[in-house]
Amino acid sequence: MSNKLYVFGHQKPDTDSITSAIVLANLERALGLDATAYKLGEVNKETKYALKTFETEEPLTLDSVDENCDVAMVDNNEFSQSVSGIEKANIKMVVDHHKIKFETVEPIFYLAEPVGCTATILYKLYKQNDVEIDSQIAGLMLSAIISDTLLFKSPTCTKQDVEIANKLSKIAGVDIETYGKEMLKAGTDISEFTPYQVINIDSKEFNDKNTKFEISQVNAVDLDSVFSRQSELEDAIQKEIQDKNLDFYMFAATDILNANSKIIAIGNKANAVEKAFGVNLENNTAMLNNVVSRKKQMLPNILNNLD
Amino acid sequence: MSNKLYVFGHQKPDTDSITSAIVLANLERALGLDATAYKLGEVNKETKYALKTFETEEPLTLDSVDENCDVAMVDNNEFSQSVSGIEKANIKMVVDHHKIKFETVEPIFYLAEPVGCTATILYKLYKQNDVEIDSQIAGLMLSAIISDTLLFKSPTCTKQDVEIANKLSKIAGVDIETYGKEMLKAGTDISEFTPYQVINIDSKEFNDKNTKFEISQVNAVDLDSVFSRQSELEDAIQKEIQDKNLDFYMFAATDILNANSKIIAIGNKANAVEKAFGVNLENNTAMLNNVVSRKKQMLPNILNNLD
């Protein structure tokens, strides 16, 4: 038997990061490996809803990996977003759909495709390896695609994501629209969260051109209710900026029904955000029409406007 | 119609780099893209033999690519080994089997697998996309696998390479052993080459831990005839070291029948080679038993022994 393979997504996991770890570990087990899925942080409400619907246990939490431990990364490829110790782990596989910043000493399996969701790529890996997709695995993959593409509304969504989601919904036995809206809604309830928890629901740190910044995103069905807490959210953001020595922080509340985002941007270089989207920050906020995707819209626009 | 897609391998192309460019361009055309294969340097004798056998024209030479030109990289992912202008090109795809050192601003298609040859991965992409492999394409893929795995003798060779080569030989209508030995032999004739040409048949530059070095490899059926030219080869190597400001240069003549390599190593940090293989350089040379693969044996051993 080979060494144990640890499979996990990124820190502050979203639905794709959790379910794709489960789905890839299941595939690798079917192919004879001793693979186990882990999570790198607390599971959010949307993901909990998906796991409950498809009767799946939450993966255990992984705090760090040992030197030369065999690992597979899903839904990310950047060490800064991964587990403690990843630099010295033995990375066997990466399956991802993000921009690439990666280096190895030896050849490995690395599959990235410019599609909306890691699950879309994993569906094809199951097919390629002739491994059956049961209703549970199909439901988890479908949940990830709905989550990452905001029910196909995100510009990151491709024809492949839609086609594969339709196939998966048949296997999983759920209606995409009905299930999808319920799942997304489950993720927007932030009423019980502290401001710190709100901005850390799905937040990623980036570092480019000597600029260190963080983009945090929450889904919402009612932007006003999110911004009724603007003042305390700003306090939490200011603390993050100080603690992490960030040049700026952008928080985006994305209206999943109307496909817009309202942002808070704070920090010495917050003008990069104004340049990136052609807006003026008023009271630290701005409305970004038709902007819903961090990966395809927020991040590249900002990267192109750093000095 | 989409933009034209330029498909190419690495500088100083080997058989995999040339044929995989042709094979991937053919696949992308079958999928509706305007794709054309190019070469980044002169085609070697082994590759010429393969192209002639399977009645295929040499690709045109590409000297540089324009900004935002759509490109696909095969058999490598490092800008230092690629075409001039690659930094500002729009890299759409990478299909490769080497260690990864890569960065993008947007998500792209990136497929790397730890197999012996790019052609092995391309075979699976044809299957996955239901595109027919005709006898010409099969012959080109087979030639690449034979070349990269030294007829399955290299430690880089995997079960997949062997299985797929066997399938391809049936489609191509050639006997692997007979054709393979003839093709490899065609590549070992260096009698008409200047010393400069000999060391540049298949040479790659690397840069790690503040050490800039080059590893050059030629296949041989008779090591003595190669080393009868040691003195003039050393002169050519010394010139490369000076021109490129290298810390050391390793030239390996690999005996493809007995699976050993005899090396010349020169330069300020040539002791890294001694440490890497546990040998003492005598008259700048050493015999490396059972060492045939630059990627899997020479390079990682050296990288692990740089100060």
- CA A110, chain centre distance (Å): 18
| Torsion over CA: B171, B176, B178, B180 (sign) | positive
Q: What is the pLDDT of residue B221?
A: 87
Tell me how far apart the alpha carbons of residues A164 and A141 are, in angstroms, rounded to a whole number: 9
How many angstroms separate the CA of residue B109 from the nearest CA in chain A? Answer: 4
pLDDT tens profile B188-240: 988 889 999 999 988 999 999 999 999 999 999 889 989 999 999 999 999 99
Q: What is the pLDDT of residue B231?
A: 97
Q: What is the pLDDT of residue B178?
A: 94
Residues of B in contact with A295 (CB under 8 A): 107
Residue A215 φ/ψ, nearest 5 degrees? -120, 120
Q: What is the pLDDT of residue A103?
A: 92
Residues of B in contact with A101 (CB under 8 A): 102-104
Tell me how far apart the alpha carbons of residues B88 and B69 are, in angstroms, rounded to a whole number: 8
Query: Cα torsion for B278, B281, B284, B288, to the nearest 10°?
Result: -40
How many other CB atoms are there within 10 angstroms of residue A15's CB atom? 30
Q: What is the pLDDT of residue B288?
A: 97
pLDDT at B93 over 70: yes
End-to-end CA separation in angstroms for chain A: 51
Q: What is the pLDDT of residue A2?
A: 66
Q: Give the one of B105, B107, B112 whose C-beta lies nearest to A110's C-beta.
A: B112
Chain B interface disruption, residue of A106, A108, A109, A299, most B CBs within 10 A:
A106
Q: What is the pLDDT of residue B269?
A: 96
Spatial neighbors of B190 by CB under 8 A, at least 6 apart, are B197, B198, B201, B218, B226
What residue has token string 């905001």? Answer: A150
Q: Which residue in chain A is spatially nearest to B110 when comparing CA positions?
A: A112
Q: What is the pLDDT of residue B257?
A: 82
What average pLDDT score do residues B66-83 get?
A: 95
Strands A101-103 and A90-96: unpaired
What average pLDDT score do residues B8-22 get?
A: 96
* Segment (H or E) for A112: strand A109-112
Q: Residue A130: left (phi > 0), alpha (psi -120 to 50), or beta?
A: left
- A62 or A106, which is more confident? A62
Bridge partners (DSSP) listed for residue A109: A93
* Number of residues assigned to chain B: 307
Of the candidates A17, A21, A19, A51, which has an alpha carbon nearest to the alpha carbon of residue A36?
A21
How many angstroms separate the CA of residue B117 from the nearest CA in chain A? Answer: 11
Indicate the SS3 state at residue A283. coil
Bridge partners (DSSP) listed for residue A220: A255
* Number of residues assigned to chain A: 307
Tell me how far apart the alpha carbons of residues A38 and A59 are, in angstroms, rounded to a whole number: 5
What average pLDDT score do residues A18-47 get?
A: 97
What is the location of CATH 3.10.310.20 in chain B?
195-303
pLDDT at B99 over 60: yes
- A6 or B258, which is more confident? A6
Q: ∠ CA(A84), CA(A87), CA(A88), 5° rounding?
A: 100
CB contact under 8 A, A114 and B108: yes
DSSP code, position B298: I
Q: How far is CA A195 from CA A200, A208, A251, B181, in A?
A: 9, 27, 12, 69
Chain A interface disruption, residue of B78, B99, B100, B293, most A CBs within 10 A:
B100
CB contact under 8 A, B105 and A295: no
Residues of A in contact with B296 (CB under 8 A): 106
Query: B28: which 2 tokens?
Result: 């992308």
Tell me how far apart the alpha carbons of residues A106 and B30 are, in angstroms, rounded to a whole number: 32
pLDDT at B1 over 60: no
- CA A224, chain centre distance (Å): 24
CATH code of the domain occupying A5-186: 3.90.1640.10
Q: What is the pLDDT of residue A150?
A: 92
CB contact under 8 A, A107 and B300: no
**CB burial of residue A281 (10 Å; 0-12, 13-18, 19+):** middle
Bridge partners (DSSP) listed for residue B39: B61
Q: What is the pLDDT of residue B294?
A: 92
pLDDT at B2 over 80: no
pLDDT tens profile A140-156: 999 999 999 999 999 99
Tell me how far apart the alpha carbons of residues A47 and A44 are, in angstroms, rounded to a whole number: 5
CB contact under 8 A, A102 and B97: no
Q: What is the pLDDT of residue B103?
A: 92
Encode B262-297: b = buried (16+ Cβ within 10 Å), e = exposed. bbbbbbebbebbeebbebebeebbbebeebbbbbbb
Q: How far is CA B82 from CA A25, A184, A244, B16, B76, in A?
A: 36, 44, 38, 15, 8
Q: What is the pLDDT of residue A200?
A: 92
Contact call for residues A71 and A91 (beta carbons, < 8 A): yes
| Torsion over CA: B76, B77, B81, B83 (sign) | positive
Q: Give the one of B100, B107, B124 whose C-beta lies nearest to A99's C-beta.
A: B107
Chain B interface with A: residues with Cβ < 8 Å:
97-115, 124, 128, 295-296, 300, 303-304
% of chain A with per-residue pLDDT over 70: 99
Q: Which residue in chain A is spatially nearest to B124 when comparing CA positions?
A: A128
What average pLDDT score do residues B108-132 get?
A: 96
Q: How far is CA A157 from CA A77, A114, A145, A208, B85, in A?
A: 20, 9, 9, 26, 30
Q: ∠ CA(A30), CA(A35), CA(A38), 5° rounding?
A: 130
Q: Give the one of B111, B112, B300 whose C-beta lies nearest to A105's C-beta.
A: B300
Amino acid letter, B297? Q
Chain A interface with B: residues with Cβ < 8 Å:
97-114, 124, 128, 295-296, 300, 303-304
% of chain B with per-residue pLDDT over 70: 99
- B284 or B258, which is more confident? B284
pLDDT tens profile A236-256: 999 999 999 999 999 999 998
Mean pLDDT, rounded, of chain A: 95
Residue B98 φ/ψ, nearest 5 degrees? -110, 170
What is the location of CATH 3.90.1640.10 in chain B?
5-186
Tell me how far apart the alpha carbons of residues B180 and A216 are, in angstroms, rounded to a whole number: 56
CB contact under 8 A, B109 and A105: no
CATH number of this structure's domain A195-303, picked from the four choices 3.30.70.580, 3.40.50.1820, 1.10.1060.10, 3.10.310.20: 3.10.310.20
Q: What is the pLDDT of residue B13?
A: 94
What average pLDDT score do residues A36-62 get?
A: 97
Bridge partners (DSSP) listed for residue B35: B5
Residues of B in contact with A93 (CB under 8 A): none
Indicate the SS3 state at residue B37. strand
CB contact under 8 A, B108 and A108: no
CB contact under 8 A, A104 and B107: no
Tell me how far apart the alpha carbons of residues A19 and B64 are, in angstroms, rounded to a whole number: 43
